[in-house]
Amino acid sequence: MEVKAYQCKHCGEIYKTNAKASKCEISCEEQRVEQERQKILQKEMQELVHYVRLNAQSVEDVCRMSEEVSKKLFGKYYIKKLILNVGYREHASNTHSAPIGMKSNFIASKNPDLPTGYPALTGEITIVYNKEPKGFSDEHFNRYNGIAGINTGSGGYRSSKEGYTCSYGVTLWLDDFPKIKENIEKVFLENNKFEEQQKQIVQEYEKELKKSTYIDGLDFDIKKLTKEVEELNARLQTVRQAKNDAIKEISTPFKEKIENLHTKTENGFRVSRPHKAL
Ligand SMILES: [Zn+2]
Protein backbone atom coordinates (compact mmCIF):
# COMPACT_ATOMS: atom_id res chain seq x y z
CA MET A 1 0.00 0.00 0.00
CA GLU A 2 1.25 3.39 -0.92
CA VAL A 3 1.59 5.87 1.93
CA LYS A 4 1.67 9.50 1.04
CA ALA A 5 3.21 12.08 3.35
CA TYR A 6 3.51 15.82 3.16
CA GLN A 7 6.32 17.82 4.63
CA CYS A 8 6.47 21.48 5.73
CA LYS A 9 9.22 23.01 3.63
CA HIS A 10 10.21 25.32 6.48
CA CYS A 11 10.39 23.19 9.64
CA GLY A 12 10.44 19.69 8.06
CA GLU A 13 7.44 18.44 10.04
CA ILE A 14 5.63 15.52 8.28
CA TYR A 15 1.84 15.50 7.80
CA LYS A 16 -0.65 13.01 6.41
CA THR A 17 -2.50 15.63 4.39
CA ASN A 18 -1.33 18.35 2.11
CA ALA A 19 -3.71 20.79 3.81
CA LYS A 20 -2.02 20.31 7.17
CA ALA A 21 1.43 20.70 5.67
CA SER A 22 0.33 23.89 3.89
CA LYS A 23 -1.09 25.23 7.14
CA CYS A 24 2.23 24.57 8.86
CA GLU A 25 4.09 26.29 6.07
CA ILE A 26 1.93 29.41 6.42
CA SER A 27 2.37 29.45 10.18
CA CYS A 28 6.15 28.86 9.88
CA GLU A 29 6.41 31.69 7.36
CA GLU A 30 4.45 34.02 9.67
CA GLN A 31 6.79 33.12 12.53
CA ARG A 32 9.84 33.84 10.39
CA VAL A 33 8.48 37.22 9.31
CA GLU A 34 7.68 38.11 12.93
CA GLN A 35 11.16 37.06 14.11
CA GLU A 36 12.70 39.13 11.34
CA ARG A 37 10.55 42.10 12.36
CA GLN A 38 11.60 41.72 16.01
CA LYS A 39 15.25 41.52 14.98
CA ILE A 40 14.95 44.74 12.97
CA LEU A 41 13.13 46.47 15.84
CA GLN A 42 15.83 45.30 18.26
CA LYS A 43 18.55 46.62 15.96
CA GLU A 44 16.77 49.97 15.51
CA MET A 45 16.33 50.18 19.28
CA GLN A 46 20.03 49.54 19.89
CA GLU A 47 20.91 52.19 17.32
CA LEU A 48 18.67 54.68 19.14
CA VAL A 49 20.13 53.69 22.53
CA HIS A 50 23.66 54.54 21.40
CA TYR A 51 22.81 57.28 18.87
CA VAL A 52 23.40 60.25 21.19
CA ARG A 53 26.75 59.18 22.63
CA LEU A 54 28.17 58.07 19.27
CA ASN A 55 27.12 61.18 17.32
CA ALA A 56 27.26 64.14 19.72
CA GLN A 57 30.09 66.58 19.00
CA SER A 58 29.33 68.78 22.00
CA VAL A 59 27.26 68.82 25.16
CA GLU A 60 24.74 70.96 23.32
CA ASP A 61 24.35 68.05 20.87
CA VAL A 62 23.82 65.63 23.77
CA CYS A 63 20.92 67.78 25.00
CA ARG A 64 19.30 68.27 21.60
CA MET A 65 19.75 64.67 20.42
CA SER A 66 18.47 63.23 23.73
CA GLU A 67 15.27 65.22 23.33
CA GLU A 68 14.84 63.90 19.77
CA VAL A 69 15.67 60.28 20.63
CA SER A 70 13.45 60.23 23.75
CA LYS A 71 10.32 60.66 21.64
CA LYS A 72 11.09 57.44 19.75
CA LEU A 73 12.54 55.55 22.71
CA PHE A 74 10.21 56.31 25.62
CA GLY A 75 6.94 56.96 23.80
CA LYS A 76 4.53 58.67 26.16
CA TYR A 77 7.07 60.21 28.55
CA TYR A 78 9.41 62.05 26.25
CA ILE A 79 11.99 64.66 27.26
CA LYS A 80 10.80 68.20 26.54
CA LYS A 81 14.07 69.73 27.59
CA LEU A 82 17.41 68.41 28.75
CA ILE A 83 19.99 70.70 30.32
CA LEU A 84 23.54 69.71 31.21
CA ASN A 85 25.75 71.90 33.37
CA VAL A 86 29.03 70.02 33.30
CA GLY A 87 32.76 70.62 33.36
CA TYR A 88 35.78 68.55 32.39
CA ARG A 89 37.48 66.37 34.98
CA GLU A 90 40.57 64.39 34.17
CA HIS A 91 39.97 61.83 36.92
CA ALA A 92 36.26 61.52 37.71
CA SER A 93 35.24 58.93 40.29
CA ASN A 94 34.06 55.54 39.00
CA THR A 95 32.40 54.41 42.22
CA HIS A 96 28.93 54.28 40.65
CA SER A 97 29.54 53.90 36.93
CA ALA A 98 32.29 53.47 34.37
CA PRO A 99 32.78 53.89 30.63
CA ILE A 100 31.08 51.12 28.61
CA GLY A 101 33.26 48.01 28.78
CA MET A 102 35.27 49.32 31.76
CA LYS A 103 34.89 48.47 35.43
CA SER A 104 33.41 50.63 38.14
CA ASN A 105 35.09 50.55 41.54
CA PHE A 106 32.61 51.00 44.37
CA ILE A 107 35.05 50.38 47.24
CA ALA A 108 38.52 51.26 46.02
CA SER A 109 40.25 49.87 49.14
CA LYS A 110 38.84 46.43 48.31
CA ASN A 111 39.94 46.60 44.68
CA PRO A 112 43.42 48.11 44.66
CA ASP A 113 44.08 46.79 41.15
CA LEU A 114 41.13 48.56 39.51
CA PRO A 115 41.35 52.17 38.29
CA THR A 116 39.69 54.76 40.57
CA GLY A 117 38.56 57.07 37.80
CA TYR A 118 38.54 58.09 34.14
CA PRO A 119 38.28 61.42 32.25
CA ALA A 120 34.70 62.67 32.19
CA LEU A 121 32.35 65.61 32.05
CA THR A 122 30.66 65.83 35.45
CA GLY A 123 28.07 68.14 36.97
CA GLU A 124 24.32 68.31 36.95
CA ILE A 125 21.58 67.20 34.57
CA THR A 126 18.09 68.69 34.53
CA ILE A 127 15.37 66.84 32.67
CA VAL A 128 11.97 68.29 31.88
CA TYR A 129 9.53 65.52 30.87
CA ASN A 130 6.26 66.30 29.12
CA LYS A 131 4.49 64.59 32.04
CA GLU A 132 5.30 62.50 35.09
CA PRO A 133 7.30 59.49 33.95
CA LYS A 134 6.95 56.02 35.41
CA GLY A 135 10.03 54.75 37.22
CA PHE A 136 13.38 56.35 37.95
CA SER A 137 15.98 58.04 35.82
CA ASP A 138 17.81 54.69 35.34
CA GLU A 139 14.93 53.56 33.16
CA HIS A 140 15.54 56.40 30.74
CA PHE A 141 19.31 56.52 30.89
CA ASN A 142 20.93 53.11 30.50
CA ARG A 143 22.71 51.10 27.83
CA TYR A 144 19.92 48.54 27.28
CA ASN A 145 16.71 50.42 26.45
CA GLY A 146 17.39 54.00 27.53
CA ILE A 147 19.82 56.69 26.37
CA ALA A 148 23.31 55.22 26.86
CA GLY A 149 26.26 57.22 28.18
CA ILE A 150 24.37 59.50 30.57
CA ASN A 151 25.03 58.22 34.10
CA THR A 152 22.72 59.84 36.63
CA GLY A 153 23.48 59.95 40.36
CA SER A 154 21.57 61.29 43.35
CA GLY A 155 18.80 63.81 42.91
CA GLY A 156 15.13 63.68 42.04
CA TYR A 157 11.91 65.54 41.40
CA ARG A 158 12.10 69.30 41.58
CA SER A 159 9.16 71.07 40.03
CA SER A 160 6.21 70.63 37.69
CA LYS A 161 5.96 74.16 36.43
CA GLU A 162 7.22 73.55 32.90
CA GLY A 163 6.34 69.87 32.72
CA TYR A 164 7.85 67.43 35.17
CA THR A 165 11.35 68.53 36.16
CA CYS A 166 14.01 66.34 37.79
CA SER A 167 17.67 66.94 38.38
CA TYR A 168 20.53 64.64 39.24
CA GLY A 169 24.28 64.57 39.54
CA VAL A 170 25.66 63.32 36.22
CA THR A 171 28.79 61.75 34.72
CA LEU A 172 29.49 61.55 30.97
CA TRP A 173 32.59 59.38 30.45
CA LEU A 174 34.67 60.74 27.60
CA ASP A 175 35.31 57.21 26.33
CA ASP A 176 31.56 56.84 25.78
CA PHE A 177 31.40 60.00 23.64
CA PRO A 178 34.17 59.53 21.05
CA LYS A 179 33.45 62.75 19.11
CA ILE A 180 33.37 64.97 22.19
CA LYS A 181 36.54 63.25 23.40
CA GLU A 182 38.22 63.93 20.07
CA ASN A 183 37.23 67.62 20.22
CA ILE A 184 38.52 68.07 23.77
CA GLU A 185 41.76 66.24 22.96
CA LYS A 186 42.25 68.44 19.89
CA VAL A 187 42.02 71.55 22.07
CA PHE A 188 44.53 70.07 24.54
CA LEU A 189 46.92 69.00 21.82
CA GLU A 190 46.95 72.32 19.96
CA ASN A 191 47.31 74.23 23.16
CA ASN A 192 50.18 72.06 24.40
CA LYS A 193 51.98 72.46 21.09
CA PHE A 194 51.67 76.23 21.19
CA GLU A 195 52.61 76.43 24.86
CA GLU A 196 55.70 74.32 24.19
CA GLN A 197 56.77 76.57 21.31
CA GLN A 198 56.31 79.69 23.40
CA LYS A 199 58.26 78.19 26.29
CA GLN A 200 61.15 77.39 23.99
CA ILE A 201 61.26 80.93 22.64
CA VAL A 202 61.20 82.33 26.18
CA GLN A 203 64.06 80.01 27.15
CA GLU A 204 66.11 81.13 24.17
CA TYR A 205 65.62 84.77 25.08
CA GLU A 206 66.50 84.11 28.68
CA LYS A 207 69.71 82.39 27.61
CA GLU A 208 70.60 85.40 25.48
CA LEU A 209 69.73 87.65 28.37
CA LYS A 210 72.14 85.82 30.70
CA LYS A 211 74.96 86.05 28.18
CA SER A 212 74.33 89.76 27.72
CA THR A 213 74.73 90.62 31.40
CA TYR A 214 78.43 89.78 31.22
CA ILE A 215 79.02 92.44 28.63
CA ASP A 216 79.07 96.10 29.52
CA GLY A 217 77.03 98.67 27.73
CA LEU A 218 74.19 96.37 26.70
CA ASP A 219 71.60 97.76 29.05
CA PHE A 220 69.33 98.76 26.21
CA ASP A 221 69.31 95.25 24.73
CA ILE A 222 68.64 93.70 28.11
CA LYS A 223 65.70 95.96 28.71
CA LYS A 224 64.34 95.21 25.27
CA LEU A 225 64.75 91.46 25.73
CA THR A 226 63.19 91.54 29.19
CA LYS A 227 60.20 93.32 27.75
CA GLU A 228 59.86 90.73 24.99
CA VAL A 229 60.02 87.89 27.51
CA GLU A 230 57.27 89.57 29.50
CA GLU A 231 55.18 89.93 26.38
CA LEU A 232 55.62 86.27 25.52
CA ASN A 233 54.62 85.25 29.01
CA ALA A 234 51.52 87.39 28.69
CA ARG A 235 50.72 85.67 25.39
CA LEU A 236 51.15 82.31 27.10
CA GLN A 237 48.53 83.41 29.62
CA THR A 238 46.20 84.32 26.78
CA VAL A 239 46.65 80.88 25.24
CA ARG A 240 45.87 79.21 28.56
CA GLN A 241 42.75 81.33 28.82
CA ALA A 242 41.78 80.41 25.25
CA LYS A 243 42.12 76.73 26.07
CA ASN A 244 39.86 77.09 29.09
CA ASP A 245 37.35 79.02 27.02
CA ALA A 246 37.39 76.35 24.30
CA ILE A 247 36.77 73.53 26.77
CA LYS A 248 34.07 75.58 28.43
CA GLU A 249 32.38 76.04 25.08
CA ILE A 250 32.43 72.31 24.40
CA SER A 251 31.24 71.37 27.85
CA THR A 252 28.96 74.08 29.25
CA PRO A 253 26.64 75.83 26.83
CA PHE A 254 23.62 76.09 29.09
CA LYS A 255 24.87 77.71 32.26
CA GLU A 256 22.52 80.65 32.02
CA LYS A 257 19.52 78.53 31.22
CA ILE A 258 20.13 76.32 34.23
CA GLU A 259 20.52 79.35 36.46
CA ASN A 260 17.15 80.61 35.24
CA LEU A 261 15.66 77.26 36.07
CA HIS A 262 17.17 77.36 39.56
CA THR A 263 15.29 80.53 40.33
CA LYS A 264 12.04 78.81 39.36
CA THR A 265 12.66 75.83 41.65
CA GLU A 266 10.01 75.12 44.26
CA ASN A 267 11.20 75.16 47.86
CA GLY A 268 11.90 72.04 49.83
CA PHE A 269 13.85 70.01 47.30
CA ARG A 270 17.49 69.34 47.89
CA VAL A 271 19.49 70.08 44.79
CA SER A 272 23.16 69.32 44.51
CA ARG A 273 25.19 72.38 43.62
CA PRO A 274 26.42 72.22 40.00
CA HIS A 275 30.12 71.77 39.53
CA LYS A 276 32.00 74.82 38.55
CA ALA A 277 32.96 74.60 34.91
CA LEU A 278 36.65 74.88 34.06
ZN1 LIG B 1 6.37 24.14 9.55
What's the whole-number mean pLDDT along residues 169-179?
96
Confidence at 37, pLDDT banded by 50, 70, 90 = very high
Distance from residue 5's CA to the centre of ligand 1 (Å): 14
Global pTM reads 0.69
Distance from the alpha carbon of residue 29 to the mean position of ligand 1, in angstroms: 8
- Span of 28-32, 63-67, 267-271 with lowest mean pLDDT: 267-271
Q: Measured in angstroms, how far is the CA atom of residue 9 from the centroid of ligand 1? A: 7
Going from the Cα of 31 to the center of ligand 1, the distance in angstroms, rounded, reads 9
Average pLDDT, the chain: 83
What confidence score (pLDDT) does residue 3 get? 75
The pLDDT of residue 277 is 42
Cα(11) to centroid of ligand 1, in Å? 4
For ligand 1, the distance from its centroid to the CA atom of residue 12, given in whole angstroms, is 6
In the reported structure, the alpha carbon of residue 10 is separated from the centroid of ligand 1 by a whole-number distance in angstroms of 5
Percentage of the chain beyond pLDDT 90 is 44
Least confident of 25-39, 57-71, 232-246, 260-274: 260-274
- Give the separation between CA 132 and CA 188, rounded to whole angstroms: 41
Q: How confident is the model at residue 278 (pLDDT cuts 50, 70, 90)?
A: very low
Residues 217-237: tens digit of each pLDDT: 566 677 778 888 888 888 888
Residue 252: the pLDDT is: 57
Contact status, residue 41 vs residue 91, Cβ threshold 8 Å:
no
What is the 25 CA–ligand 1 centroid distance (Å)? 5
Over residues 107-138, the pLDDT tens digits come to 877 777 888 899 999 999 999 999 888 766 67
| Ligand 1 centroid to residue 22 C-alpha, Å | 8
pLDDT at 276: 42
Ligand 1 midpoint to CA 19 (Å): 12
Measure 23 CA to ligand 1 centroid, in angstroms: 8
Amino acid 10: pLDDT: 93
How much is the pLDDT for 268? 38
Query: pLDDT at position 217, please?
Result: 58
